[in-house]
Chain A
């Protein structure tokens, strides 16, 4: 079922950016391939800022962002693609569904712009197809306000995937769900990311997400710097900071529910 194309187009991505926003400085050097990369870090460490920089919503101070063969941003060569040209799917915290549109219209939204302009009927058919594929077909006519957290996140994921992005940015996709919905969605997300072979950065506060996604590399962001990065086992056995140490301890059955 997975649409081919991503695998040919994108195999690796890398970014090295510095961001200055008032007194907050962010310096990040992150790279990955088709396996999802997990980004962890305390609140205010710059995780959301980093995703927004990659999406093109925020302009960094300098650096370079490359996804596959495409350079999205390069301060030295003065390359800076607009968000709509980056082919990056972004799912913000709180899902970012448009409350004034139905689920189907939300998902079809990505096919209504100039880059992928489709006729209304084709657009809706494509949206209906991906919703069905992602087990959300029954939600088509509903408004986002009437969906549960898990349903919203599935719809948001389907919407981000429809334009066939080169990369996915998921900001705490599991944070606002109850425990049962989180368990379900964790497996669902892992399956769909593996199936579609689309590179992804997933921000999370829960070590079980790291495990479920089978991610080869975790980046711990603290105070705007990458404090530690590497395979999850390496971070768990030899944490470089208190935060990393606590993050992985919580997953080993202390019962503390990570948010």
Chain B
């Protein structure tokens, strides 16, 4: 009954209506790609800001992703378990960093680990100062990017048939064995897609990093912060950095787009 209406909107007329939003999304990216000549980009990559920022972004996001996957997977598995009312609060807590502005998360981290924060003085007495270090960069990325992985992994775990886990146990597997040999392989496509989304988010992290970690070349100046700094001196460097960042982020779309299709393939039973 709804189909004819729907068809009307997705026809040629529908495409015309859809064009404005498509343009809003695509035109800036096209402009960015077309703005600079290869010579400009080459000059940009040789700028002293470029190398340290690229290297810091690479290692900090890899570290953040490792923390997210190692600590986030058990949480996602727990969230996918039998639902009880008190679990609702956990889901809200995991969702919060998605909706809270990154700058606010940066302030929150300062209030936790800063000089006047909750744990700051105690850590300081052990000679550990978190803010304005590379550790702070990683923490900011973890806090802001983790929810994307956790949500995707929990959804993937929830889709694993409970019967398969029971069968694995009756066939001699411990809970851990059933998790690694049945739940993880079946949820893997969703976990990979979530990790890619998380990584992309960590790579783009700006607000929380600027507030909690600062903007120091080599230790806390990631690619987005370097773009911000370069813009004040040399637009060409900013554009070169932006293009590299855009390319890296776009690459992360590949697992994101390809894997959910893979995920559906084994579930297509012939006799259903």
Contact = CB atoms under 8 A, between A and B. Distances in A.
B166 A99 contact: no
A55 to B, nearest CB: 5
A50 B181 CA distance: 26
Interface stretch (B96-104, B171-179, B215-223): B171-179
A178 to B, nearest CB: 8
Interface in B246-272: 266-271
A251 interface: no
Given A99-B186, A113-B177, A148-B271, A82 B167 contact: no
Given A55-B166, A90-B167, A99-B186, A145 B172 contact: no
A84 B163 contact: no
B271 A149 contact: yes
Given A92-B163, A93-B163, A100-B185, A145 B270 contact: yes
Nearest to B173: A113
Given A99-B266, A145-B266, A145-B268, A114 B172 contact: yes
A52 B161 CA distance: 14
A190 to B, nearest CB: 22
Q: Which of B171, B172, B174, B182 has the most CB of A within 10 A?
A: B171
B172 A99 contact: no
Contact of B173 (A84, A94, A145, A160): A84
Interface string A121-148: 0000000000000000000000101111
B166 A83 contact: yes
Given A99-B186, A113-B177, A176 B271 contact: yes
Given A113-B177, A149-B271, A92 B172 contact: no
A88 B170 contact: yes
A158 B20 CA distance: 59
A163 B166 contact: no
A124 B144 CA distance: 46
Given A109-B171, A163-B172, A96 B161 contact: yes
A52 B163 CA distance: 9
Given A84-B174, A176-B271, A57 B266 contact: no
Nearest to A48: B163
B157 to A, nearest CB: 14
Contacts of A96: 161, 163-164, 166-167
B108 interface: no
A184 B267 CA distance: 26
Nearest to A177: B271
B107 interface: no
A116 interface: yes
A86 interface: yes
B168 interface: yes
A83 B185 CA distance: 21
Nearest to A52: B166
B83 to A, nearest CB: 12
- Contact-residue size bin, chain B (C-beta under 8 Å from the other chain): 20 to 34
A18 to B, nearest CB: 20
A100 B170 contact: no
A92 B182 CA distance: 16
A146 B270 contact: yes
B169 interface: yes
B269 A145 contact: yes
Contacts of A160: 170-171
A160 B169 CA distance: 11
Given A99-B267, A100-B266, A146-B270, A94 B170 contact: no
Interface string B147-170: 000000000000001011011111
Given A100-B266, A145-B266, A145-B270, A110 B172 contact: yes
Contact of A110 (B161, B163, B171): B171
A56 B269 contact: no
A131 to B, nearest CB: 15
Q: Counting chain A CB atoms within 10 Å of each CB, which of B166, B181, B266, B270 scores highest? A: B166
Contacts of B173: 84, 113
Interface of A: 52, 55-57, 82-84, 86, 88-94, 96, 98-100, 109-116, 143, 145-149, 159-160, 163, 165, 176
Interface of B: 161, 163-164, 166-174, 177, 181-182, 185-186, 266-271
In the complex, the 3 A-B pairs of residues with the closest C-beta atoms, listed nearest first: A113-B172, A83-B169, A92-B163
Given A57-B166, A82-B169, A96-B161, 5 more contacts: A55-B166, A94-B163, A111-B172, A112-B172, A113-B177
23 contacts: A55-B166, A56-B169, A82-B174, A84-B169, A84-B172, A84-B177, A88-B170, A90-B170, A94-B161, A96-B166, A98-B168, A99-B186, A100-B186, A109-B181, A110-B171, A112-B181, A113-B174, A143-B266, A145-B266, A145-B267, A145-B270, A149-B271, A165-B170
